[in-house]
A and B are shown apart, each in its own frame.
Chain A
Amino acid sequence: MLKETNLYSAAEKPDIKRLQLIARRIRLNIIQMVGVGQRGHLGGSCSIADVVTALYFSKMRHDPANPSWADRDRFLLSKGHAALVQYSALAECGYFPREEMLKVKRCGSMLQGHPDLKSTPGIEANTGSLGQGLSIACGIAAGLRIDGRNSRVYCVIGDGELDEGQIWEAAMAASAFKLDNLVAILDCNGLQAMGRVIERFNTNPLPEKWRAFGWHVLEIDGHNMNSIIGALDEVDGIIGKPKMIIARTIKGAGISFAENRVEFHNGQLDRAQFEAACASLAADPYVSERNDR
């Protein structure tokens, strides 16, 4: 059931080109928030930028003018250190003025280093102590079900975050309670803070694990907008189990010099890098080419 005032889910057929352009803008905002000479979680924000774009600008039912609309779909960023991507999307949707973006992490800012529901319109939960967001998402999904609401709960988790035991507690709970209004998206960018996931603390094999925990599992290219939209639509039809979309992504995607580079997990940009990234995102069709293939 769509709400008339919702700007972002009105399109009956998603306009992929439009979404790709928005994703590029989302990345540009991320770069601007990271700025020059300051640390920021650029890599993990960019890896999930296309999924976040698809959710906020096509899939989810939400209303920026009424963030607490009871029938909205919910989005939780369990890997809360990637808050920049969510702030970017929320600002583009109009949850708060764009000027707020550039005040991110400043003292007194509405945009904290990690998502804070009391500070920022559109944030659903306090996440970022890793491993907790999926459990909170489960609780929201269970509460919505008690109330008989059709809202869906989307929760992005990171592949490094899978180290946390609580993720697997939540994985068991979601399937024990048959939370089919819950969709988790795994940002599988292959890098955690100290290096490659398979070298630091190998949590593979992932599809097998999630299936064994009772989830419906899909694997997609997390930068292909058609695949993302297709997967999000496909899982709507799955009844009786929680859904896991494993999005194979590239850390730092869309910022050529940062791609697959662990130092940009929480890295700094120098002036030249900053300008190069801004220029390429403003002009270069790089991201949409990737999405077209």
Chain B
Amino acid sequence: MGIQNPREVYGRTLVEMGRENPNIVVLEADLGKSTMSCYFEQAFPERFFEMGIAEANMTSFAAGLSLTGKIPFTNSFAVFAAGRAFDQIRQGICIPGLNVRIVGSSCGLSDFGDGSTHQSVEDIAIMRAIPNMTVLVPADGNETRVMTRAMADYSGPVYMRITRNDLPDVMPENAPFAIGKPHLIRQGGDVVAFANGQMVSAALAAAEILKADGIDLRVVNVSSMKPVDKAAIASLADGMKGIITAEEHSLIGGLASLIQEVFQGRCVPMKAIGIEDRFGQSAHS
């Protein structure tokens, strides 16, 4: 099992796509060496826009580019991409359903040194609440690659959050990826864990520990937060004694909320693992 950095994979994938599709354009808010949009800048300077530290303008500017048939990818940290530019995403992009791709990098707690100002605990909740928005959370480098490619071809606005950290591969390389489908990645007969992002590999590690205790954990990667195949989610819990959700996000509005929405009206034991209703903090050591 390999280890990859999703940001690195994302940056390289943008260049691949840029080679194949002249309509791909990339916008950056002065974080290109972190988001890895710097590779696209080197390869296609004429289709790269350094927008400065001005996320609101970057986001509306991307809306304008999409109105001329371009496929813009905007880049910043998740906390700014979803937070500072919320109104621009809502008004100018999601209401008309434009093909803008918003990539929130260093998501969740992964910018561990910078503390609460830079740690996005609520970006999925914000983005998921906007009508017309698609919300994606890759679990590893392999999924980041196929997801980034799927975003380019998709119709309508898309938000993808990617972590700053290296992640172990949990998905096969170049597996077909369809927006909306949950992925069963570990069979198990007792309890199902719905996880996304870096909590998928954590759930797989937990499954090994639980095995020693005689508990057979099923692990499902819910990388498409919206739209989501609710029937598929429901059937993946058939026969299970309970449901666990695991996410690097607030328990309000993210995966725990999504799974509760799917199972509302049913009596299912459920345990949510995530960030309590609070901000993060710096944690260099």
Contact = CB atoms under 8 A, between A and B. Distances in A.
Interface in B19-49: 25, 46-47, 49
| A-side interface mostly | helix
Nearest to A140: B64
Interface in B50-70: 51-52, 54, 56-57, 59-70
B57 A166 contact: yes
A143 B88 contact: no
B247 to A, nearest CB: 30
B61 A138 contact: yes
B67 A169 contact: no
A146 B95 contact: no
Contacts, number: 106
Contacts of B62: 139
Contacts of A176: 52
Nearest to A124: B67
Contact of B67 (A116, A129, A139, A173): A139
Interface string A152-180: 00000000000001100110110011000
Interface of B: 25, 46-47, 49, 51-52, 54, 56-57, 59-70, 72, 87-88, 90-92, 95-97
B49 A142 contact: yes
Given A118-B97, A126-B95, A126-B96, A143 B51 contact: no
| B-side interface mostly | helix
Contacts of B97: 118
A143 B68 contact: yes
A19 interface: no
A125 B46 contact: no
Given A116-B95, A146-B68, 9 more contacts: A117-B67, A136-B63, A136-B92, A138-B57, A139-B63, A139-B64, A139-B72, A170-B60, A173-B57
Interface residues on A, range: 20 to 34
A135 B56 contact: yes
B52 A172 contact: yes
Nearest to A164: B56
Contact of A140 (B57, B59, B67): B67
A83 interface: no
B88 A173 contact: no
B91 A173 contact: no
Contact of B96 (A116, A133, A141, A169): A116
A165 B72 CA distance: 23
Contacts of B65: 139-140, 142-143
